Amino acid sequence: MALDASKRTKKPSGKKPSKRKTNPGVRVVGGRIYDSSNGKCCHQCRQKTMDFVASCKAVKNNKQCKLNICHTCLLNRYGERAQEVATLSDWHCPKCRGLCNCSFCRKEKGLEPTGILSHRAKASGLSSVSELLQVEGDDSFAYVKKEDVSIEDVANENSKAAGKIKKAKATNEVKEEEILIEAKLPIGISLTNVAGIDIPIEETGNLLQFLEFCSAFGEALDLKEGQAESIVSELFSCGRSTRRQPYCSVIPVMIQLLELISHDRDMSLSLSATDSTWFSSLGECLLQSGVLSDVFPPETFTSGVSEYTKMDASTRLKLLNFLCDESLSTLAMRNFIETKSVESEAQRREAKEKAAAAKEKEKQLRQKMQGDLVKAHMERNGAPLSIEEHHAILSQIKAEVKEAHDKMLEAKGMISRKRQRCDAAGTDPILLNDDGLVLWKLKCFEEEPKFLLQDLGTFGDLSPHEKWLAFKPEQKQEVEKYISAKG
């Protein structure tokens, strides 16, 4: 018995059903409103959008041409502005003029589709794809679909691509070698002036050590703004007058550090700048540490504070830096470092949350932009927006999006800064060189380009002193290039 043909079931063909909708409705993509019901179809791109279109005014055989060209295609493909041609009563579309370069019209002429050529036209300094075809010839371009390409063609293209990649790699390797060869540190200038104070070149490192300590721990020591610089000025600018003023601003800071150290070691000291107790306590602290014994023999501190008045600026700075180093091991300083580290981490988390919130707001504003475009379209009952109306809505929302984007970048910048160690945790060098060169960026040194070079000298160098060099502002790019090449 034969089965009724209408009841026969078709065997599955193995092909997946198409997901494309015949009527996808209204959607916004890249600032364009696509409306499958009310949109006007562009003859060139064949997209039904609510974009401003130029309508052909040509009449043939008592019938008006119904072709529309969207303002984007008209400008990119033919170099004409839709706003201007819309005011012309006799404007003819490119098809009516025999100039159309859409895929359908080119196939009718026996030509291959061109594909997207607007970027190439602009890169050639031409106003449109139409002008590019006029200059280079209608048959100079042919868009080929991937499925139409033979295996041999693919192999040839892959071979060409591999050759290009190999050549590019070789070029990059040469460039990298050139960069490494060219990237040299510019010649620095001997740093003999810090914070406006002239100092001996051999004392630059010790002075920077003290100033950097004050920058990191000034809050813990309750130092006033500019106090560290005043101490430096007193050490190196007063000359012999310092010896006649034994109870100056340097001594109170020494006493403060001594009290911090003695409290941590359960030493009950009553120190005063008016007698020699602070000086003898300093000698005891030195004796316990076992450092600088070659510079300060024990008898130095048994002769009384008069020995201090005989010391030069370099010797006093050594004592000051010794006390700074010793204070770092105290409980009070360790607690301060821990607190600052926790605060820094909390600030980093806060910055991360702000960045996430700003990013989410930017996303919501972009969605709002699309929603506002659709809403404006709906309020016009399907009538297309003019180019001015379209740009006005975009400009208003983009301004809000930019503000949110800037806030996100600002928050990300804060995250980057907080990833670095907090000031209290110490300062790390930017770069160490095998030639005994160390690049620093110290908080206490604010002069542009803010890079300092420490020259430790090479092994066997007879010079007993390190050298500190600064750079001119115009050398900043060279230094950064060197850091990038060595990093």
The string of pLDDT tens digits covering residues 299-311 is 888 888 888 988 9
Q: Quick one: tokens of 74?
A: 């008209």
Mean pLDDT of 55-62: 89
Q: Which two tokens stand for residue 437?
A: 């060169």
Which helix or strand (DSSP H or E) is residue 322 part of? helix 313-327
Taking the chain, what is the end-to-end CA distance rounded to the nearest angstrom?
85
Amino acid type, 441: K
Q: Which residue has the tokens 């706003």?
A: 83
Dist CA 191 CA 279 (whole Å): 32
Calpha distance 373→92 (Å, rounded)? 30
| 281 residue type, one letter | S
Helix (H, G, I), strand (E, B) or coil at 292: coil
DSSP-based three-state secondary structure for 426: coil
334 or 143: whose pLDDT is higher?
334
- The Cα-based distances of 83 to 75, 278, 305, 485 in angstroms read 10, 87, 91, 52
Rg of the chain over Cα atoms, rounded to whole angstroms, equals 39
CA distance 322 to 55: 86
The DSSP code sequence of 444-473 is T--STT--EEEE---TT----S-EEEE--G
Is residue 333 helix, strand or coil? helix
Confidence at 428, pLDDT banded by 50, 70, 90: confident
pLDDT, greater one: 392 or 323: 323
The answer to whether 356 touches 335, Cβ cutoff 8 Å, is no
Which one is predicted more confidently, 71 or 172? 71
**CA-based nearest residue to 337, from 264, 268, 399, 426:** 426
Report the distance separating Cα 320 and Cα 233, nearest Å: 14
Q: CB-side exposure of 202: number of CA atoms within 13 Å?
A: 7
At residue 335, the pLDDT reads 93
Give the C-alpha separation, 31 to 121, whole Å.
23
Alpha carbon distances (Å) from 380 to 368, 383, 395: 18, 5, 19
**CB-based contacts of 100: which residues, under 8 Å, 6+ apart?**
43, 44, 93, 94, 106
The residue with greater pLDDT, 487 or 222, is 222
SS3 track for 70-125: EHHHHHHHHCCCHHHHCCCCCCCCCCCCCCCCCHHHHHHCCCCCCCCCHHHHHHCC
Which of the pair, 12 or 474, is modelled with greater confidence?
A: 474
Question: What tens digit of pLDDT does each residue of 159-168 get?
Answer: 554 555 455 5
**Over the stretch 272-306, which tens digit does the pLDDT of each residue have?**
777 778 998 898 888 888 888 788 887 888 888 88
How far is residue 349's CA from residue 451's CA, in Å, rounded to a whole number? 29
pTM for the predicted model, two decimal places: 0.53
The enclosing H or E element of 157 equals helix 151-182
| Residues forming a β-bridge with 468 | 454
How high is the pLDDT of residue 287?
87
Q: Please list, in sequence order, all residues whose beta carbon lies within 8 angstroms of the beta carbon of residue 129, skipping any fewer than 6 positions away.
A: 76, 77, 78, 101, 114, 117, 118, 121
Cα–Cα dist 67/94, whole Å: 10
The residue ranges of every structural domain in the chain are 26-147, 168-219+428-487, 238-259+266-321, 333-425
Q: Is the pLDDT of residue 115 over 80?
A: yes
Residue 56 banded pLDDT, cuts 50, 70, 90: very high
